Structure 1
Amino acid sequence: MKENLELKKVLDLIETAIRPFPKAAMFELRERGYDSLFEQLISCVVSIRTLDETTIPVSLALFAEARTPEAILKLSSSRLTALLYGSTYPEQKTNTILGIAKAAVEQYEGQLPADYTKLTDLKGVGPKCANLALGVAAGHKAISVDVHVHRVINRWGYVATKQPEQTLKILEQKVPVELWTEINRLLMPFGKHICTGNLPKCSTCPVLPCCEQIGVTKHR
């Protein structure tokens, strides 16, 4: 019989387990000084369907030329697209990023508002990116659910959902507010390197005693 899952205790165990692995991209970029709401939101757009190993260098290359909405708008569409190559759908992301920069300049005097509704009103900005940018850059209590968080939380049996948006809503009800930002910071690298999609490392996982291993048919 599995132990009861105490979330704070589990997150502390995960903190230790992920120490040898790279930080999640947005947190790594914040540590490198790219900590404005605009930079974090743009990097999150870059990260969509893109590995962190690509997101970080692409973001760094972009910010080497333009770190503000005004500077982004001075780039040609073709130059911005070229800077985004390596990430998925660079042309689509070019349009999204230009739209965000234009809104920042024309509607908000160059400073994006730290407001979930206003951020998600921007074309191409979904709940994951809005919450992640608000949590990392603005210090807001926000839960960001990506594919890793969604998979891990369901695998534990902590939730039973089909879509990340459903997972987000339930986590906002179940998780203490002080842990909201920690969810993505810890579970993203945990899901990428330990509780992987295929062949998770269950035999050495510190969460195994209280994980229901839902959906796991083979593991390491």
Structure 2
Amino acid sequence: MNARKRREIFERLRAFNPHPATELEYRTPFELLIAVILSAQATDRSVNLATRKLFAKANTPEGILALGEEGLIPYIRSIGLYPSKAKHIIATCRILVEHYGGQVPATREALEKLPGVGRKTANVVLNTAFGQPTIAVDTHIFRVANRTGLAPGKTPLEVERKLLKFVPDEFKHDAHHWLILHGRYVCTARKPKCPECLIFDLCEYRHKTAAP
């Protein structure tokens, strides 16, 4: 895919959705961090249902530490992998309190040292909470980047690096949100909704679906 096509793709995505945002509900960088940790192998909807109740009770590292692991689990029991996520969240809160004054650090190095925080989670927090031009590659973005030919790669890291290289600077801040929403609602895994796709003519997917 050439640079002209890539630019046109993002110009159309921007025109359709000028101000994209995460579907996770949050008010502070800390709430976003916890929501993203919980979202691994879970839907944003299920996370939002849990965090609405959790954050009403405790929405700071100190507050969640006061709950303790046993007190946290009832709020997140409906989310997959909740036992390990509870351990990670408590450990992360302890580090934030002891080393960062209860604040979420704004560097990749510091974020990736937190339990339960990998590269993807760090990228989401850096981009969404702190406005940095990172691109977190989840399953949706990995699929869209490969299927369309936008930034094909065999691993999420390879796709991320190609996106950072190929996406024009003016689109980098919002690219993550545009691509994840496109993958979630249009370029779906089992049967992409090609007839509804606003980049249909730019996409290089060889097996485009027809209208029902």
Determine if the TM-score, normalized by the shorter chain, exceeds 0.5.
Answer: yes
Matching residue's letter, 1:115: T
In the TM superposition, residue 110 of structure 1 has moved relative to its aligned partner by 1.0
Matches within 5 A, 1:6-155: 6-15=5-14, 24-26=22-24, 29-30=25-26, 34=27, 36-155=28-147
In the TM superposition, residue 41 of structure 1 has moved relative to its aligned partner by 1.1
Does residue 212 of the first structure (1) align with residue 204 of the second (2)?
Answer: yes
2:170 is aligned, of 178, 181, 200, to 178
Aligned position for 2:195? 203
Q: What is the distance in 2 between the residues matched to 1:131 and 1:169?
A: 12
SS in 2 for 1:209: coil
In the TM superposition, residue 148 of structure 1 has moved relative to its aligned partner by 0.6
Aligned position for 1:188? 180
> What is the root-mean-square deviation in Å for CA atoms of aligned residues?
2.3
Unaligned runs of 5+ in 2: none
User: Structure 1, residues 96-154: CA drift from partner, whole Å, max 9, x if none?
Assistant: 11111111001111112101111011122111111111111111221111111110011
Q: What is the distance in 2 between the residues matched to 1:181 and 1:40?
A: 17
Q: What TM-score do the two structures reach when normalised by structure 1?
A: 0.86
Does residue 158 of the first structure (1) align with residue 157 of the second (2)?
Answer: no
Q: What is the distance in 2 between the residues matched to 1:219 and 1:152?
A: 18
- Assess, with a 3 A threshold, how the Cα gap between structure 1 residues 80 and 5 changes in structure 2: closer, same or farther: farther
- Assess, with a 3 A threshold, how the Cα gap between structure 1 residues 7 and 60 changes in structure 2: closer, same or farther: farther
Unaligned runs of 5+ in 1: none
Report percent identity of matched pairs.
Answer: 30
User: Structure 1, residues 156-213: CA drift from partner, whole Å, max 9, x if none?
Assistant: 1122212212211221222233322312211111111111001111122111101111
User: Structure 1, residues 4-36: CA drift from partner, whole Å, max 9, x if none?
Assistant: 7533432232345569xx96323xx24xxx1x2
SS in 1 for 2:201: helix
Higher relative contact order (CA 8 A, sep 6+): 1
Aligned length: 210
Larger mean CA deviation between 123-132 and 156-165 belongs to 156-165
Partners of 2:193 and 2:209 within 8 A in 1: no
Q: What is the distance in 1 between the residues matched to 2:86 and 2:109?
A: 22
In the TM superposition, residue 3 of structure 1 has moved relative to its aligned partner by 8.8
